[in-house]
Structure 1
Amino acid sequence: MSDDLIPGDESSAADAADAVYRELLERLGEAQPQPRLGATKRALELLGNPESSFAIIQIAGTNGKTSTARMIESILRAHGLRTGLFTSPHLVRFTERIGIDGERISDEAVARNWDDIKPYLAMVDAELTAAGEPALTFFEALTVLGFACFGDAPVDVAVVEVGMGGAWDSTNAADAEVAVFTPIDLDHVQRLGKTIAEIARTKAGIIKPGAQVVSAAQHPDARQAIVDAAAAVDDPAVFEGEEFALVQDAVAVGGQLITVRGRAGTYPELYLPLYGDHQGRNATLAIAAVEAFLGGATQPIAEDVLAEGLTEVASPGRLQLIGTEPTVLVDAAHNPHGAASLVAALGSYFDVDEIAFVVGILQDKDAAGILTTLAPAASGFFFTQSESERAIPAEELSRLAASLDLPASTFADTLDEAAEDARRWAEEAPRRLVVITGSITLVGEAIEVADDREWKATA
């Protein structure tokens, strides 16, 4: 344990956890993943392979990974299992990425486990450097930290979201009992491939011998890649729309009611406190994944377990209300597929006349695709940029929108300014809504700004 960390001293624990994050940031960032597994495996081996002490459900895909992971974890916890949850990226604080039994990991536990693993990370760094390779990256070191924290807790099962791709993602250093695939689309094309088929083959690399494979409905090329990867190791693969399906969903106060046909039974009128048809499909996939983990097609999930698990689920940054008077939502849509789900949800769940989008997008994303997908729902755009060094300048986004003949727009160099302009617009007439979207980084910053400025009216 760090010398300056005093048991019971929350400020010291927070400082120690922040110091861990600073050390992680000194490594190669998440925009520069290394296509390798050996480095992560070597670090885990030196630690005694903590990832082998608990079961793992791993999730790959393009959109919906984090929401689906949270649902799976919540259902498993309601079933009585002690759970770990590993997701990325974070919105506000990096400790959001590691959950223990439904709670963000404590600062003390992060700092203590980091101190435990640092000498072993240094050993691997030295080995890699001597071999002419980059030292462990941010995400590789974070993955090792997450698995160490789960082993230390200890947990019964960890729900692990892939960082990027699948085959060579550092989370794939562990073997999962269940491999879960959310919808696969074009994203990270510079790293993963130019076609859906190429991207899907990379993501299907999480399938290991002995795993059960559960997938959302897929583009035919993605489906074939998953089928081929599963068949190569004689694993069973089941798909949404075939072995399981969302039978019905209906708008409800604060969310929706869904009926799901699982492999082991049908689950009627489950309350899901999240907006959007896509969240109903994510819940359907989560239920099928939990069925696979608990017993496949032979053992239905208890109704009270599902009711509790889904009712308690939350998905920060996904159609999250951060402001009232005027109403402001944030949504982490950062590609055209996510933008399409956002537009569909706004049309179904929010009764408003006009919508303004505050948008910031990162350079490796399909900005034109995102904007043209949002445009049919937009009364106007307020462009800005997050603090990320990969953010597209706000003025450049505004020029792009003009070239695409999109609705009127303005731009501001800071989120604070762009958001305040949008909020003033919303206050000028009734039934107006502001949505901040385009990048997870921007959404995280918006949540902080809203909290600091007290955008939510208090009773």
Structure 2
Amino acid sequence: MNPTNADAAARVYEELLTRVGEANPRPRIEPVRRLAELAGTPQLSYPVIQVAGTNGKTSTSRAIESLLRAHGLRTGLFTSPHLVDFTERFQLDGEPIDGELLASAWDELRLPLEVVDAELEAAGHGPITFFEALAVLAYAAFADAPIEVAVIEVGMGGEWDATNIADARVAVFTPIDLDHTAILGRDVETIARTKAGIVKPGSAVVTAEQHPDALAELEAAAERAGSRFVVQGRDFRLIEDRVAVGGRQIEFVGLSGRPYDPAFVPLFGRHQAENVTLAVAAVEAFFGAERPVPEEVLDEGLGQLTSPGRLQLIGTDPVIYVDAAHNPHGAEALARAVAESFSFEELALVVGVLEEKDAFGLLRALAPIAHRVTVTPVESPRSIDPTALREVAEDAIPDTPVEVADSLPEALDEARAWAARGEGRAVLVVGSVLLAGEAIAHARSEEWGIA
């Protein structure tokens, strides 16, 4: 991004940061609808595929977008949070949005924001939040581009998430598990009920395999909406998944019932193979379930697929990977992916976790692949203190050395020095999306030449 575009995007981000942050969502949707209405209802300008769930949302969203782009459609992709650059959240045709285009859409949103903020204040409610404004900005910027289809990742939950002002043609659900329990509920059933709020009348509902309680909630929502309901493992399925150089070789059956030819996916872990299978079914549902994705489109769409922050290589001397896994379910998938995809003799974890997360569960899930751990703070006021995190790590991964660092650069220096002292050693940074972004930015600043 050139300096002018970067400055324009930075201005938008700085102004958004004056609003209540996305870690503190408000369970409401009407003010967002009102804001979008005053902005010209941009979310109705193009068809939408909406993606909700607990883990795999971003990877699945990126796969859907890549397949749609390979079909020749002009695409918009909205994901959150960003890793390094704010414009990562808004992708046009697979690239971060132009900063000036984003700033133009933001400037047009100023007056509607002032009106809605004033209305909310008069009613005794808080103003539009960071994420509420962000979601409407995404819809508006995509309308201005313009695009032909949007893939929209839900921020948190579903029913009252700010992205849910669109009438999605396809509602996609990745695996639902416990996360954000203080806000979404303390059991899978309650969480799934909230996420099911993205199902709209007449839409297609495409879901990954789910816990029975979650599946029941999604199916009930689809029935109420008169939506077709298709489930991975029943209506479409992954039939073969093998480790390949640089990723996976997969075979699957889509909604048409037709097996696809073997396809290469340049991502690590069986969970990514499952995500891709889900994404293909979502694209089939978008175009009409009886119409398989053409093989040449599949090859192009999957071949160009990336998933930043998901087992992303950021250094080679020594080998350093980063992963944004931040809950036990995601950490379990990560541990399996590392074990089956790599042959490290020893692996050092650099771990930072936010206070609202299940640090013990996350670390316990990573125990099978950990040979040493360095805990570090995340650059956030919500970070768990590293001294406290060390105690959690010692309980979760007993008989494993645990070191404390005062910062991520210090933690990386310590872990890299350890890795350089032995053959077959590597480093994995994990525990938070924010930490993953910090690690990628640090690798770039140090010119490790990969990130």
Normalising to structure 2: TM-score of the pair? 0.98
Q: Which amino acid aligns with 1:28?
A: V
Matches within 5 A, 1:97-246: 97-246=89-238
How far did 1:16 drift?
A: 2.0
Provide the C-alpha distance between the structure 1 equivalents of 2:414 and 2:324, rounded to a whole number of angstroms.
Answer: 20
Provide the C-alpha distance between the structure 2 equivalents of 1:283 and 1:292, rounded to a whole number of angstroms.
Answer: 14
* Partner SS state of residue 239, structure 2: strand
How far did 1:457 drift?
A: 7.5
Partner of 1:282: 275
Cα gap change, 1:342 to 1:119, in 2 (>3 Å)? same
Matches within 5 A, 1:50-89: 50-89=42-81
Contact kept in structure 2, 1:57 and 1:178, CA below 8 Å:
yes
Provide the C-alpha distance between the structure 2 equivalents of 1:130 and 1:338, rounded to a whole number of angstroms.
Answer: 42
Provide the C-alpha distance between the structure 1 equivalents of 2:166 and 2:38, rounded to a whole number of angstroms.
Answer: 14
After superposition, what is the alpha-carbon deviation per residue over 1:362-390, rounded to whole angstroms, capped at 9, x for unaligned?
A: 01100000011111211010000111111
Provide the C-alpha distance between the structure 2 equivalents of 1:165 and 1:457, rounded to a whole number of angstroms.
Answer: 34
Given the alignment, which residue of 391, 397, 419 partners 1:426?
Answer: 419
How far did 1:455 drift?
A: 2.5
How far did 1:250 drift?
A: 1.2
How far did 1:171 drift?
A: 0.3
Matches within 5 A, 1:306-325: 306-325=298-317
Contact kept in structure 1, 2:364 and 2:397, CA below 8 Å:
no
Contact kept in structure 1, 2:367 and 2:397, CA below 8 Å:
no
Q: Does 1:336 align with 2:311?
A: no
Unaligned runs of 5+ in 1: 1-8
Unaligned runs of 5+ in 2: none
Partner of 2:409: 416
Q: Which amino acid aligns with 1:213?
A: V
Contact kept in structure 2, 1:325 and 1:456, CA below 8 Å:
no
Contact kept in structure 1, 2:367 and 2:396, CA below 8 Å:
no
* Partner SS state of residue 260, structure 2: strand
- Supply the RMSD in Å over aligned alpha carbons: 1.2
How far did 1:13 drift?
A: 2.6
How far did 1:454 drift?
A: 2.1
Cα gap change, 1:133 to 1:258, in 2 (>3 Å)? same
Given the alignment, which residue of 343, 346, 353 partners 1:351?
Answer: 343
Contact kept in structure 2, 1:84 and 1:158, CA below 8 Å:
yes
Which stretch of the first structure deviates more once superposed, 387-396 or 11-20? Answer: 11-20
Cα gap change, 1:304 to 1:350, in 2 (>3 Å)? same
Cα gap change, 1:256 to 1:405, in 2 (>3 Å)? closer
* Partner SS state of residue 214, structure 1: strand
How far did 1:405 drift?
A: 5.3
Normalising to structure 1: TM-score of the pair? 0.96
Sequence identity, in percent? 54
* Partner SS state of residue 218, structure 1: coil
* Partner SS state of residue 176, structure 1: coil
* Partner SS state of residue 224, structure 1: helix
